[in-house]
A and B are shown apart, each in its own frame.
Chain A
Amino acid sequence: MGSPGPGRRPAARPRRYTLGMDPAALEQQFAEILRENEERIFNMVYWHLGDYEDARDLTQDIFLAVYRNLPKFRGEARVSTWIYRIALNRIRRHLRRQRFRKLLVPLEALWDRGNPGPTQDPPTLPPAYQALHHHLRQLPEEFRTVVILFYFENLSIREIAETLGVAEGTVKSRLNRARRMLRERLKGVIA
């Protein structure tokens, strides 16, 4: 019996971005960061929100925040960890606002949100994953986040702990409880 533990990517060497305010250098560094992290951040946002268009807009906001804060990044953490932190904060804020916004849906429909850019059909997930997606979003945020980071982003327990600023034991405990909750809710799917 092989261990079901995830196959890990080789740990990337921490990279330092000690940037001055030279706009050209800043943009070049940012473009590189964007290229390396765009797919995985979008994927994480999508699994959190469950809406393709929202995930696109929020990913854009996240990277603009990354760009604004890049000159202040001192390299104490890995770039990816730092970006995950920004992304998770933005996701949390977005979900909080979304709950409030539900009350304002009729007003928002009247509000011209501007040109959203070229639209693209969201990918259709297989039924099992649609169910997974649905139940995943029902989990409390702290449990959902560890599942997404561990399974979809392939982060180790230690990397998740570092990203969230919590103890490894806390991550393990949340992961364990999240798996139990999902198992309970997905009984019909995984039986």
Chain B
Amino acid sequence: MKPRDFDQLLENALNGTLTPEEEQRLQEILQTCEPCRKEWEEARRLHDLLRQAPRVPAPLGLRARILQQVRARHRQQPRRRWVPALAPVFLALLVLLGGLWMLRPTPRPLEATPVTVDLLAPEPDAALLTSDFLVVGALYPPMPYELEVQVDSVPVPFRNTGGEGYFILKDLPVSPGYHQITVVVHLPTLKKRLEFHREVYLVASGGDPS
């Protein structure tokens, strides 16, 4: 059986770090322990084989080839130096363009024309019966709204039978004849106030306007 300290002594010996005391101890072990001596000899042979490994010479001309490449790089470098020098500028430009792209005004058609308003008499000269007169409108997308209606610049009451995305205004107090209809739409969500003007010619429900 191997002494407990043999492995460590063997390792130190191979590493070249044996102290004189350790060397003496190793000698003692090798004289008395046959398996230890066998292992020592094997380890020693491998150690010697490794230590005496031939140094493989570098190929002829390798150094010249490397130096040639280095000189070739020298000649190329001045042409390419601007690339790293301008890299921060390119980067800053890229960031700026990216920022502008992110902050670009997105087309918001809903804000530009969120409401369409029409009268049942789209043509100014078209005649409508007063009883048929309606004001209709639509909002896209549907959103809360408040309305004001003026007939010839005078606010008038009305009844809205529409919903969130549209309105149908009825029972407007209108008389036969030409009228300037103004519909004011307040959109609190968008903080907008939109005005629509239409002209309309109404006839009395019973016959010609008079």
- Inter-chain contacts of B57 with A (CB < 8 A): 39, 42, 123
Asked whether any CB of chain A lies closer than 8 Å to the CB of B53, the reply is yes
Q: Is the CB of A5 within 8 A of B56?
A: no
Asked whether any CB of chain B lies closer than 8 Å to the CB of A86, the reply is no
Q: Is the CB of B69 within 8 A of A3?
A: no
Looking at the complex, which one of A47, A56, A128 makes contact with B49 (CB distance below 8 Å)?
A128
How many Å from the CB of B60 to the closest CB on chain A?
A: 6
| Cα distance A42–B55 in the bound complex, in angstroms | 9
Interface size class of B (residues with CB under 8 A): 35 or more
| Cα distance A56–B66 in the bound complex, in angstroms | 10
Within 8 A of A (CB), among B102-144: none
Q: Is the CB of A34 within 8 A of B67?
A: yes
Instruction: Report the interface size for chain A: residues with CB under 8 A from the other chain.
Output: 50
Q: Is the CB of B59 within 8 A of A56?
A: yes
Asked whether any CB of chain B lies closer than 8 Å to the CB of A31, the reply is yes
Q: Is the CB of B11 within 8 A of A172?
A: yes
How many Å from the CB of B28 to the closest CB on chain A?
A: 12
A: residues with CB less than 8 A from B are 1, 3-6, 23, 27, 30-31, 34-35, 38-39, 42-43, 46-47, 52, 55-56, 59-60, 63-64, 67, 117-118, 120, 122-123, 125-126, 128-129, 132, 147, 151-152, 157, 172, 175-176, 179, 182-183, 186-187, 189-191
B: residues with CB less than 8 A from A are 11, 13-18, 23, 26-27, 42-51, 53-63, 65-67, 69-71, 73-74, 77
Q: Which 10 A-B pairs give the minimum distances between C-beta atoms? A: A5-B16, A42-B58, A151-B50, A190-B45, A46-B56, A120-B59, A63-B66, A56-B59, A176-B11, A43-B55
